[in-house]
Amino acid sequence: MRLRALEPEDLEALYGWENDPATWEQGCTLAPYSRYALREYIASASTSDLYAMRQLRLMIIDKSADRAIGTVDLYDFDPHHQRAGLGVLIDASCRGRGFGREAIGLVSAYAFRFLHLHLLYAHVSTRNTPSLRLFAAAGFQSCGTLPGWVRTAKGFDDVVVMVCTCD
């Protein structure tokens, strides 16, 4: 597996993932994205500055098939406090095969060694057992719960704050 910057050929994969309502509860998406908006996002990502935009999205590539199988995001990047949020999405057809854990390992190494971050965190819904297991397996530890943090179709869900430090 490898991580790489967004490319124009990622449009259809991103369009499918970003417009899947099943993933919306895990993030902040409230409405579908157009191909036009995603095309513009991809184009701007190649020239955007992590320090200015405070976020970085990378594609997760399965080298054996040479295809994009997901994304990993650093968000709320804070160089002063040396921390960032981390999110990962793996295509449904590729889940449960270790890709998420490997992607978290790669982006964590980049964040700690190259960006000199001290801490990565993830907010994970208490109902998202696979993601809780994934982040724990990748070395993240629970440090608390935010009650009623995420609104869902069934009400409000708590989220677990998972953290990993460069120690």
Between the CA of residue 149 and those of 19, 56, 110, what are the distances in Å? 22, 24, 29
Backbone angles phi, psi at 120, to 5 degrees: -115, 145
Provide the 3-class DSSP secondary structure of residue 80. Answer: coil
Under 8 Å CB-to-CB from 107, ≥6 apart: which residues?
Answer: 3, 58, 72, 74, 86
The residue ranges of DSSP E strands in 36-154, in sequence order, are 56-62, 67-78, 83-90, 119-125, 141-152
- What share of the chain in percent tops pLDDT 90? 82
- Whether the per-residue pLDDT at 25 is higher than 80: the answer is no
- Whether the per-residue pLDDT at 82 is higher than 90: the answer is yes
Domains and their CATH numbers in the chain: 2-118 (3.40.630.30)
Question: What type of residue sits at position 132?
Answer: L
Cα–Cα distance for residue pair 93/69, rounded to 1 Å: 8
pLDDT in tens, 44-57: 987 888 998 999 99
pLDDT in tens, 26-43: 777 778 899 999 999 999
Q: What is the pLDDT of residue 30?
A: 74
Mean pLDDT of 96-123: 97
Cα–Cα distance for residue pair 63/122, rounded to 1 Å: 26
